[in-house]
Structure 1
Amino acid sequence: MSPAFRTTTIAVHTGRRETVHNLTGACEAFLAESGAREGLLNVFVPHATAGVAVIETGAGSDEDLLDALGDLLPRTDRWRHQHGSTGHGRDHVLPALVAPHATLPVVAGRLALGTWQSVLLVDTNRDNPDRTVRLSFYG
């Protein structure tokens, strides 16, 4: 069987507040629509101020992540990168801590995630309410 490559983009409206947006359903829908069976799914956010995380959600971990990022990267005027709202420079440091991509195994057409894991878009940039996420399957 020859390898297959499929890719698409999805638009995500994150609003003007820090947020964690669950992408798991969109990833699963893309895999189902594309007929993907075995391979790898890459989730990529082509933005300088957003990232992709794989963590538990629904039990407060998503809010804990935003709180931890706020502690590590405070929204103050200390940042050298100073266009946009106060503290926007910290948004440009975010991808060094929360990478703008994740590559995940696909088995039998489904993401091979742990029981409590979800694929999340992490967006702390209050100046850009709309994001693009690229999903690419190779298998």
Structure 2
Amino acid sequence: MKTEVLDIDTSDRRVVDLTTAVQTFCASQDQGSGGLCNVFVPHATAGLAIIETGAGSDDDLIDALQRLLPRDDRYRHAHGAPGHGADHVLPGLVSPSVTVPVADGQPLLGTWQSIVLVDLNSDNPRRSVRLSFVKASS
């Protein structure tokens, strides 16, 4: 298994498009046999999604998550910024990992699909994202 870690700054955006980085990683790993690329965020307050970006869906996702996870004092997990407990619930709704098939060095995403990091946590804007590639067996 081949792996690489991306360092991401989310201080000025809640949704970060990782698609180009994933495509570059897959192209450097796949020698024509295909395989699977796993994208994993090892944080308790962030997640990954496959969505359309640039047409408002990314903003709609954040709006929906903020409605589902209000920033107030209802959470038992109460350290950090107000409503930080909501950040710890996020990975229950937005998975910390996604896996995509790869062929000929390209992740097999749909036309409008992008892989994005979702991070509502203002307490920690530095994120690591681990990319892993597993070759298909011959």
Say yes or no: TM over 0.5: yes
Runs of 5+ unmatched residues, structure 1:
none
Residue of structure 2 equivalent to 1:111: 107
Q: CA deviation at 1:116?
A: 0.2
1:23 is aligned to 2:18: yes
Match of 1:115, SS state, is coil
How many angstroms apart in 1 are the aligned matches of 2:39 and 2:28? 16
Q: CA deviation at 1:35?
A: 3.8
1:33 corresponding residue in structure 2: 28
Question: How many residues are paired up?
Answer: 134
The counterpart of 1:68, out of the listed 64, 68, 82, is 64
Identity of aligned residues (%): 58
Alpha-carbon contact 2:78-2:85 (below 8 Å) kept: yes
In structure 2, the partner of 1:97 is 93
> Which residues of 2 match residues 71-90 of structure 1 at below 5 A?
71-90=67-86
1:110 shift after superposition: 0.1
Mapped to 2, the partners of 1:105 and 1:26 lie a distance apart of: 15
Distance apart, 1:29 and its partner CA: 1.0
CA distance in 2, matches of 1:73, 1:18: 18
1:52–1:100 CA contact under 8 A, matched in 2: yes
Go from structure 1 to structure 2 and tell me whether the alpha carbon gap of 1:85 and 1:114 turns closer, same or farther (over 3 Å shift).
Answer: same
Give the structure-2-normalised TM-score. Answer: 0.94
Instruction: State the superposition RMSD in angstroms.
Output: 1.1
The separation in 2 between residues aligned to 1:36 and 1:98, in whole angstroms, is: 31
On the 8 A contact 2:36/2:102 being kept in 1, the answer is yes
| 8 Å contact kept, 2:29–2:105 | no
Normalised to the residue count of structure 1, the TM-score between the two structures is 0.93
Amino acid at match of 2:19: T
Partner of 1:56: 52
